[in-house]
Chain A
């Protein structure tokens, strides 16, 4: 018995050493991992921005809480940054691409943005740490995890000009998707709610439409009346996710999952109704010209779920599989009317939390290209009135 106690205490010591040593290693790895951030090749087809007029320069430059990242190298320490090397007075951004930085350094999880014309030059908004971010119409939404003994989640609505938070509310589960309508009045979000307790991986979703100005919930999609071929359908296993708004911000497309099917629905917010349009469409994303829906199509490959990116031409119901052959689990974002953006884990084995943003043309031939390294949750900000999107010049 004595010797047993002695061995046990020795093992306790060994455990402390193991944990301490590994913790030390993890700490070292973290501080040594200040990687050079975005070395982004410009997409092979220079994306023509579908904005007829150039947004005019902002008249009163709002204070910017962002620090400019250097394009090709990170200074040792990764702290303060000298003046950008290229032009002394860069033109105001044509259109901004917002995303979540996944670079493992002090910016990890921060909102970041880059001019779509210069995706290599990244600006960070360290005051906003999100799991998912989206922006349109001068307003952004940031779904964040507030880590504690029990991690809780919340959503913040912010102004994309000064990045000030205008409103926030708690979320019922783990953030998944977020969208803002082009006029900046409505936001939609999907979270995973763990339904049947805590030790199981059994989830359901909750999808809400939120009024941006008041941060109040306008509707839970579960309360909508859904019609399929004219008849109302309803089941307890309804799950909604992946809202995308129409340009008039009165309607939306989303996924409804029930009885193993994944249906594309089009909903009317004021009428609280939705109708089923199409099958096997997940996480739809409507193109700026409202002619295409880009989505992931669920395939069963050797018993495992794989997602193939597709584009549905709404008028002709024609499906175009994209040239991307990896399985992509993301809600696509339109860079312009011909290109989509999505994130892909940097390492296929998932050994790093990093993801990269890729760009693909909506045809079956053009190979996808990396667009921004260490980014997640891309959002190419669009506005109905260009002035609403006017970013402060750096």
Chain B
């Protein structure tokens, strides 16, 4: 019809799907609001916890050590899988997510009650992580179930941008409170609880219950893994875990940046916030691009960005403040191009009635991959030092990336 049609085709990457304006369902925005409020709540606490433990409770924090890794490991991985399967069974993603968000909210009150002893703190932190493990998959499933398949990536990116915005605001709120009420950590915990409560309320009030997916009525019991045995899904989950295995955890990146820059004494929290800022800024453009061109391309480019960052870290002995900001922005860009996009890729290959379990499996694979990578990188660092370790990881990632690019070729043509 129009002579410009071929340009449209080129832009969209496939015929028929016109570059529609981004339409984000109010459900996704509500879930974003929930995450924003919850992140304000949890980052308020996280930004203060180290100083609170040492300076306020006069406890030495050495013994907390590995606990976090354990919590993030098997226990929660298994629980989030179980929660995901259950949520699919009864189509109750919303309710399961509510439980997860509520547990984390209640933790803020528990912090007030028992958070003044080692045992109490460990219990509260563990419960908080548990809540996080339970809620993530059903929430992501709700995002995809309320979004047409051709804008999955956009929907996830809007949610992730709002989420990152909450992580930025949390420390600011905590600081403002402590400036007004010096030393009143209990007031911070109460405020954090209030934000968490509003987050739960937003989810409860604004997100409709998911409609049960019509099932094949001839079969009484659907087997557990039906819909999750497709080659496409397994390859995707495998590639996700493989790439996570070759990813250096943020903690180590920050440590390297701190060692290489003279300016960065005690500014770890600032590193974190700058990464979140980059994530927030780049998420939506990356998501739109993924829906228009190809999710696979954007997803793989994210890891390309990370390899660039590792190479930079390898060759650069001294990192000035400008380069430091650049590195943290690259890290934010990597998150923007991969995290939500992978969930969009997953949602596209998992049938609706298995969506939560599918997302939970991919997320668990990534979690275990990250845990293994942290242990491996720590061991490499001890033996061969920082520079050589990052080179090894950069090389491994390049290999993993090439393998994934080939393995994921079918995902480039997933009908969306």
By a beta-carbon cutoff of 8 Å, the part of chain A in contact with chain B is 1, 4-5, 7-8, 11-12, 15, 18-19, 22-23, 26-27, 30, 104, 108, 131, 145, 147-153, 170-176, 192-203, 205, 235-237, 239, 257, 304-305, 329-330, 343, 345, 349-351, 353, 355, 376
Contact = CB atoms under 8 A, between A and B. Distances in A.
Interface stretch (B14-22, B44-52, B310-318, B337-345): B44-52
Interface centre among A7, A15, A145 (most CB of B within 10 A): A15
B305 interface: no
Interface stretch (B63-71, B82-90, B348-356): B63-71
Contacts of B266: 152-153, 170-173, 193
Contacts of A11: 197-198, 201
B361 to A, nearest CB: 24
Contacts, number: 165
Please classify the interface of chain A as helix (H, G, I), strand (E, B), loop, or mixed, using the class held by over half of its residues.
Answer: mixed
A203 B46 contact: no
A196 B249 CA distance: 9
Closest 8 CB pairs of A and B: A350-B116, A196-B251, A197-B251, A201-B64, A236-B382, A4-B205, A15-B194, A200-B68
Interface in B260-305: 265-273
A12 B66 CA distance: 38
Contacts of A192: 50, 54, 60-62
A148 B175 CA distance: 6
Nearest to A351: B116
A175 to B, nearest CB: 8
Contacts of A343: 58
A194 B265 CA distance: 11
B392 interface: no
A176 B60 contact: yes
A305 B63 contact: yes
Given A18-B190, A150-B269, A236-B381, A174 B51 contact: yes
B155 interface: no
Given A176-B60, A196-B249, A197-B250, A171 B265 contact: yes
Contacts of B271: 198
Contacts of B117: 349-350
Contacts of B55: 131, 145, 174-175
Contacts of A205: 62
Contacts of B187: 19, 22-23, 26
Contact of A27 (B58, B68, B181): B181
Contacts of B252: 196
Given A7-B205, A196-B255, A202 B65 contact: yes
B50 A194 contact: yes
A200 B183 contact: no
A15 B198 contact: yes
Contacts of B118: 304-305
Contacts of A148: 175
A151 B51 CA distance: 8
Contacts of A237: 382
B206 interface: yes
A147 B55 CA distance: 12
A30 to B, nearest CB: 7
B53 interface: yes
Nearest to A152: B266
Contacts of A4: 205-206
B178 interface: yes
Contacts of A239: 62
A62 to B, nearest CB: 30
B101 interface: no
B7 interface: no
B343 to A, nearest CB: 21
Contacts of A18: 190, 194
B179 A147 contact: yes
Contact of A30 (B181, B251, B270): B181
A19 B268 contact: no
B119 interface: yes
25 contacts: A1-B206, A15-B195, A15-B198, A18-B194, A19-B194, A22-B186, A23-B184, A30-B183, A148-B175, A150-B171, A152-B265, A152-B266, A170-B265, A195-B255, A198-B254, A199-B46, A202-B68, A202-B251, A203-B62, A237-B382, A304-B119, A343-B58, A350-B57, A351-B116, A355-B58
A130 to B, nearest CB: 11
Contacts of B46: 198-199
Nearest to B190: A22
Contacts of A349: 116-117
A349 B57 CA distance: 9
A126 B181 CA distance: 19
Nearest to A153: B266
A324 to B, nearest CB: 16
Nearest to B55: A131
Nearest to A1: B206
A351 B112 CA distance: 9
B180 interface: yes
A237 to B, nearest CB: 8
A297 B39 CA distance: 40
A330 B251 CA distance: 29
A378 to B, nearest CB: 13
A56 B186 CA distance: 48
B28 interface: no
Contacts of A198: 46-47, 254, 268-269, 271-272
A350 B57 CA distance: 6
A98 B169 CA distance: 39
Given A8-B202, A202-B68, A304-B119, A329 B186 contact: no
B260 to A, nearest CB: 14
A228 to B, nearest CB: 18
Given A150-B171, A192-B60, A350-B117, 9 more contacts: A11-B197, A26-B184, A147-B178, A149-B171, A196-B252, A197-B254, A197-B272, A200-B251, A353-B56
Nearest to A104: B183
Contacts of A151: 51
A355 B179 CA distance: 23
A150 B270 contact: yes
Nearest to B71: A200
A12 B116 CA distance: 29
Contact of A197 (B194, B197, B268): B268
A134 to B, nearest CB: 16
A5 B64 CA distance: 42
B191 interface: yes
A205 B63 CA distance: 12
A200 B121 CA distance: 12
Contacts of B119: 304
B183 A353 contact: yes
A196 B271 CA distance: 12
